[in-house]
């Protein structure tokens, strides 16, 4: 189960962030609660991405690429980095508007 978390954790965080922002935008439109909620969700998802990235790097350093947990960790680190950039990119316009 840990291998799947390392491999797909970044994409799961990105998905949760996308749907949470969509829900906030649909319910509150462009009001102050929407901006506050967007900021809170974005910060929480950025923290989750950083945690997954740190977990992937630590696991990849401990295990070889040939092990069952080694290759998902090596592949999960760039995916978590992509998710980190995407979450920041999605949250920034809502916070600046």
Decide if pLDDT at 68 tops 80.
no
Cα separation values, 72 from 6, 21, 31, 81, 86, Å: 6, 28, 41, 14, 20
Question: Cβ–Cβ contacts within 10 Å for residue 38, how many?
Answer: 23
Count of domains observed in the chain: 1
The pLDDT assigned to 66 comes to: 66
How far is residue 95 CA from its own chain's centroid?
Answer: 18
State pLDDT tens for residues 30-59.
888 989 999 999 999 999 999 999 999 998
Distance from C-alpha of 2 to C-alpha of 17, rounded to nearest angstrom: 21
Q: Domain of 43? A: 2-96
Residue 70: what pLDDT? 83
| pTM for the predicted model, two decimal places | 0.89
Give mean pLDDT, residues 6-21.
95
């Amino acid at each position: 189960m840990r291998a799947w978390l390392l491999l797909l954790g970044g994409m799961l965080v990105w998905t949760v962030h996308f749907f949470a922002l969509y829900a906030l935008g649909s319910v509150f439109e462009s009001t102050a609660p929407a901006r506050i909620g967007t900021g809170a969700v974005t910060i929480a998802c950025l923290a989750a991405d950083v945690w997954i990235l740190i977990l992937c790097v630590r696991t990849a350093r401990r295990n070889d690429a040939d092990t069952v947990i080694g290759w998902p960790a090596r592949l999960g680190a760039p995916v978590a980095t992509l998710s980190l950039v995407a979450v920041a990119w999605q949250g920034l316009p809502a916070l600046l508007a």
